[in-house]
Amino acid sequence: MPKVGMEPIRRKALIDATISAIGERGSLDVTMSEIAGRAGVSSALAHHYFGAKDDLLEATMRHLLTELDADARASLQAANTPRDRVRAIIAVNFSDKQFRPETIAAWLTFYVAAQKTTALRRLLRIYARRLHSNLMSGLVGLMPRPEAEHTAESIAALIDGLYIRRALRDGTPNAASAISLVEDYLNTKLSQRERQS
C-alpha cells in the first residue's frame, strides 16, 4: 500500500465538488462552504489547500482542460487517416464524459467568466488553440491549408455553439444528433471539394 498524504485526495475531491456544484447551480456563485460540504470537509480546509476561491476555480478549469486534452490525445492515437482524426476530435467533444450536463454547465460558466478573469482567459485560449490544432492535424490532409484553417474555425464554432444550445434543453443533451450535425457539415464541405477537383 503506497503511503500518500491527504493532499491529492482532498484536492481531487474539492475539484470534483466544484464542478458538480457549478453544474447544479449553473453559475460561479457557489460558496466555498457549499463546495467544501460536498467534498465532506470544512471550508477552512478548502482554503488551506487552495488559498483563495479564485485559485480553486482556476484549478478546476485547468482540470477540465487537462481531462479534455487527455481524451483527445487518446482518441487521436487510434485514428489512422486524416478523416478519422477529424472524426475523433469531434467525437471527443461529445463523448459521454465531456458532454454531461454538469460538465457543460461548468464549461459555459468558465467561458463567460473568462471575459473578466485574466487567468481563466489564458486557460481558455489554450483550449481554443488546442482544439484548432487538433482539427488542423486532420484537415490539412484533406484540403489546402487556407481552406483547412477556415473549416477548423467553423467546426470549432459549431462545437461551441452546440454546447451552449444543448445546455438550454432540459434533460440529457443529445450527443448523437450534435455529432451528426458537425459531421454533416464536414461531409458537405468535403464532397464539395471532391466535385471541384
Partner DNA sequence: TTTTCTTGATTGATCAGTCAATAAAAAATA
Partner DNA sequence: TATTTTTTATTGACTGATCAATCAAGAAAA
Interacting residue ranges for DNA, rule: CB under 7 A: 3, 5-7, 10, 29-33, 40-45, 47-48, 51-54
Our CB check for DNA shows the closer of 33 and 191 to be: 33
Our CB check for DNA shows the closer of 46 and 152 to be: 46
Minimum gap (Å) between residue 42 Cβ and DNA: 4
Our CB check for DNA shows the closer of 48 and 97 to be: 48
Minimum gap (Å) between residue 77 Cβ and its own copies: 27
Partner whose footprint covers residue 146, from its own copies, DNA, none (CB < 5 to 8 Å by kind): none
Our CB check for DNA shows the closer of 30 and 61 to be: 30
Partner whose footprint covers residue 184, from its own copies, DNA, none (CB < 5 to 8 Å by kind): its own copies
The residue among 63, 189, 71, 86 whose CA lies nearest residue 134 is 86
| C-alpha cell belonging to residue 60 | 478546476
Contact footprint for its own copies (CB under 8 A): 25-29, 105, 108-109, 111-116, 121, 124-125, 128, 150, 153-154, 156-162, 164-165, 167-168, 181, 184-185, 188-189, 191-192, 195
Partner whose footprint covers residue 22, from DNA, its own copies, none (CB < 5 to 8 Å by kind): none
Residues in the chain: 197
